[in-house]
A = this chain, B = another copy of it.
């Protein structure tokens, strides 16, 4: 059978990686898919640069097996609009990133009856509902395994592997940059700024790291997983997002002394009154597998009522891991290309007319345990006063640890670990605690999850 024809929008890290993997493993992929997958056209802003990159890939993979179709070099030009309308193209692979132009091109591709494969989490987190609705109307697929956790097949696991379950929660390390920085801070005792500079020097963080370190990228991915897990619409604007740029090195140290590691987790949970959807630095017991995911690696833990807790681990970024997910999607699309749409898994796991209107809870309605660090006067009665204010609001204390004060300072750090409580309730107690004359500065609050 003739190879299916894909067109590539962009030829950067993900685009180049996809071309490279497809070329190198064409025979193996064909033995699986029953049909070759050929990139027949590429649209980029500077074709000459892409030509050179392509030539380098062809040379590098020359020793590898190549299958039918993989041998023919693609047309490269800068006509993005022509590619998404090209009648010779069956699948459009979007790797240009961003949300405006990408949205326009993806919607045009869909209108022209093409399937779409994308790694663009920002696009789907913001415009996903519009895109999936358009795809549903046209009877085409929009596949996005590469948009979440790179090479880890987590979308497939959630959407197909765990369909038996009522999923209760997901907690994921889904941003490699921040996990790398947190590992550096803990292992080397660095502060955030130094660890970030290291990450930038080593290529783990971008020159403008805002999207990563402020948790926006993780929130994009979490929002997509939440929709698939719970059958709710994609609601990125409802996500609560805290990054790691304000994280104090002392909290990493104290957490470790208490048997915890701090991870930037994306957490989504089905509660009685709605869905929790939140990204923030989180204390996790060191004995848990997910606490031991270090460096730029990703891991997603999922709990379902039947399966219990499962965990998926791997590289969350990089040319080849991302390409692994893009090409897996290409194989799926190739297989179901001519199938009746009803034979395909719904984009968001649930049938489009079966989405739930369970709301996303505002942060003060979520339930969590907490780690609190207070700067207090080193004098009798302070602990009792704080414990009483917490107890008055029904908040149980797991541990209350007063750090030794340095001589003559007259102040000390007090660490409080609470049981789970509703955040709004805790905030009320904190307002009272911060009003105590013996409490010398605002309380540092981190959430703790025992998963």
Contact = CB atoms under 8 A, between A and B. Distances in A.
Nearest to A1: B342
Given A313-B310, A323-B306, A25 B335 contact: no
Interface residues of A, number: 65
Interface stretch (A76-84, A261-269, A348-356): A348-356
A33 B163 contact: yes
A164 interface: yes
A164 B29 contact: yes
A31 B323 contact: no
A28 B312 contact: no
B314 A309 contact: yes
A151 B305 CA distance: 11
Nearest to A315: B308
Interface stretch (A2-10, A42-50, A324-332, A412-420): A324-332
Interface in A338-389: 338-340, 342-346, 349-351, 354
A145 interface: yes
Given A25-B165, A164-B21, A321-B306, A31 B152 contact: no
Contact of A331 (B164, B306, B314, B338): B164
Interface in A234-268: none
Interface string A157-169: 1001111111000
| Of listed A160, A164, A339, A344, residue having the most chain B CB within 10 A | A164
A289 interface: yes
A438 to B, nearest CB: 42
Contact of A161 (B22, B156, B292, B313): B156
A375 to B, nearest CB: 36
A34 interface: yes
Contact of A308 (B21, B151, B307, B340): B151
Contact of A306 (B21, B305, B354): B21
A336 interface: yes
A231 interface: yes
A153 interface: yes
Interface string A132-153: 0000000000000100000111
A332 B321 CA distance: 26
A90 interface: no
A445 interface: no
23 contacts: A21-B165, A22-B164, A25-B166, A25-B306, A31-B351, A32-B349, A32-B351, A34-B342, A34-B351, A157-B157, A157-B161, A162-B328, A163-B327, A164-B331, A304-B324, A306-B323, A306-B327, A307-B315, A309-B314, A311-B311, A311-B313, A313-B313, A335-B345
Given A31-B231, A32-B354, A339-B340, 10 more contacts: A28-B165, A29-B164, A160-B328, A160-B331, A165-B324, A304-B324, A306-B323, A306-B324, A307-B325, A336-B343
Interface of A: 17, 21-22, 24-25, 28-29, 31-34, 145, 151-153, 156-157, 160-166, 231, 289, 292-293, 304-315, 320-321, 323-328, 330-332, 335-336, 338-340, 342-346, 349-351, 354
